[in-house]
Amino acid sequence: MLRTHTCGQLRKSDVGSPVTLCGWVENKRDHGGAVFIDLRDRYGLTQVVVGPPEANSELIDAAGHVPNESVILIRGKVADRLEGKVNEKLATGEIEVRSEHFEILSTAQTPPFTPGQSDLPGEDLRLKYRFLDLRRKEMQDALIRRSEIIKCMRDYFAEHDFIDVETPILGRSTPEGARDYLVPSRVHPGNFYALPQSPQLYKQILMVAGFDRYVQVAKCFRDEDLRADRQPEFTQLDLEMSFIDADDIMSLIDGLVATTAKQVLGKEISLPLPRMTYEEAMRRFGSDAPDLRFGLEIVDVTSVAKKTEFRVFRGTADAGNFVRGIRVPGAATLYSRRQIDELTAYVQQDFGAKGLAWFRVEDDQTLWSPIAKNFDPEHLAEIRELLGGEPGDLLMFLADTWEVTCKGLAGLRKRLATEMKLYSPDDLNCSWVTEFPMFERDEESGRYVAMHHPFTAPLAEDLPHLKESPEKCRAQAYDLVINGSEAGGGTIRIHDSEVQSQVFELLGMDEETAKDRFGFLLDALRFGAPPHGGIALGVDRWVMLFAGLENIREVIAFPKTQKATDLMTQAPGEVDAAQLNELQLRTVSVKT
């Protein structure tokens, strides 16, 4: 090893010891006759002194001219810092290394930004020079936390007798859900592999093969539109179990959540984690991934709306739609008319709502609003009572379809909670949402599509609905929610080939297509398949949430931009004609 210690290792007990340190020059200070260098590596920072009586003038001159971010080697002795110069903010703040030998291992050019600067450059610049960005302590801490979480997960499942099995990256394209990333085959011209959107089919095959407890930290790929918490390639902790039910899976993951929170964050999580059905989540919070760190629950006032003379409420209710609202405690004096107008524009533009009705609860518990004159006092009192309004509260309502009221009020409650600081960034709230609808209608084709995936088993009591009324089928599905984000999703799988064929048919897949795409799975199910199920946990999202961050790119070493490009390597890029010829491919321009 070139070094004897790291830059975060030395303490007062090491005073007098000869040491060799290597690292990056964070900054330097020339005090005339002595140069002070802050030497950095991922373990910490140590102050190095190059100057009398230990150093000669050439050494001092070299140290004074070394550019920041250069890599150097220092050999010398550990000494106490001078009185009054101790830096209590540093673990190494009581000592310094007085150099006897100074060596430049790599001279750095002037960087476009430095890891230690207080004002961060734009994300595009950070991603282009990711090797500089990754030197920042915040980035290194995030990736260290990622490593800790993955190790904690692996250890937990090893203790529960799971077998780590790697599944293929090059597989068969089975177009369901997001678009596949396709890889052309040189050996089989005109044919393509697909990168896995998940190891779903392989892990079901493993259950049929008798590996009753499978786990894998798996790389997955989806060609879909991106956002702050989504990437085209992502990592998930994938597992599958045989001879279990949904409660077994959720209880197992409860233990993982508690173990990870304790070991990584030092937080105690009460178990079992709370559970609610999909229907309850949408009714109370308007979202299938509700943030439970704060209240602002949704209340349905459609029954009162039907009795009022206010045309917006009455017309919506008479048309079979809904009037729903939230109570915002103490917000009446916090939000001006202009700010409420901004909230109105927000729900209109982002969620397609027609408008936002609101009332202020006065000291005498009456409701005031520009629209209050359109209501009888008894109806206003009934609305206030349904929402539990108290003086100083703000009551806000949407009158629209179920979908719009859900999305609009879910977005509104999140925005208000953020603006009013109704939760601490350090809070960690975990819960389950269960019993999702098994199918939903595709708006374009009008046909049924699987809400999770086509291998999800219906609840046993809903199995009779498959033939006559599939929309009534509830799935044996469960999502783990952390702080309002889906952190994992799983289902109990169909292990009966006849039921699986029936589901394929419902999804508009004829027997020939099903056999072509999933014949190997259907064959496996006919040769003795155990009841089985599993879950996939989003590792990137877990790390983001556990680290209290809002951008998933902050916990991935080399992420893609929102347009799925790598600014550092300039991927994706063109390939030369010889490569295309070898694959028997050519590119064409398509007008859009």
CB 501 within 8 A of CB 522: yes
CB 11 within 8 A of CB 17: no
Residue 566 DSSP class: B
Identify the three-state secondary structure at position 150.
Answer: helix
Of the candidates 590, 585, 512, 577, the one whose C-alpha atom is nearest the C-alpha of residue 183 is 585
CB 95 within 8 A of CB 57: no
CB 494 within 8 A of CB 466: no
Q: Exposure string (b/e) for 356-371, b if CB count within 10 Å is 16 or more?
A: bbbbbbeeeeebebee
Identify the three-state secondary structure at position 204.
Answer: helix
CA 150/CA 260 separation, integer angstroms: 9
Identify the three-state secondary structure at position 256.
Answer: helix
My answer on whether omega of the bond before 377 falls inside 30° of 0, hence cis, is no
Identify the three-state secondary structure at position 526.
Answer: coil
Of the candidates 290, 417, 395, 405, the one whose C-alpha atom is nearest the C-alpha of residue 347 is 405
CA 506/CA 37 separation, integer angstroms: 70
Task: Give the burial class of 239: count Cβ atoms within 10 A of its Cβ; 0-12 exposed, 13-18 middle, 19 or more buried.
Answer: buried
- Rg (C-alpha) for the chain, rounded Å, is 30
CA 207/CA 216 separation, integer angstroms: 14
Q: Which residues on adjacent β-strands are paired with residue 450? A: 439
**Amino acid residing at 470:** P
The CA-to-CA distance between both ends of the chain, in Å, stands at 57
- Residue 501: both structure tokens together: 């064929």
Of the candidates 357, 361, 352, 463, the one whose C-alpha atom is nearest the C-alpha of residue 408 is 352
C-beta atoms surrounding 265 within 10 Å: 17
Residues in binding site for ATP: 222-224, 231, 486, 538-541
SS (H, E, C) 475-492: ECEEEEEECCEEEEEEEE
- Phi and psi torsions of 339, nearest 5°: -70, -35
CB 21 within 8 A of CB 74: yes
Residues in binding site for L-aspartate: 176, 222, 452, 493
Residues in binding site: 176, 222-224, 231, 452, 486, 493, 538-541
- Phi and psi torsions of 395, nearest 5°: -110, 125
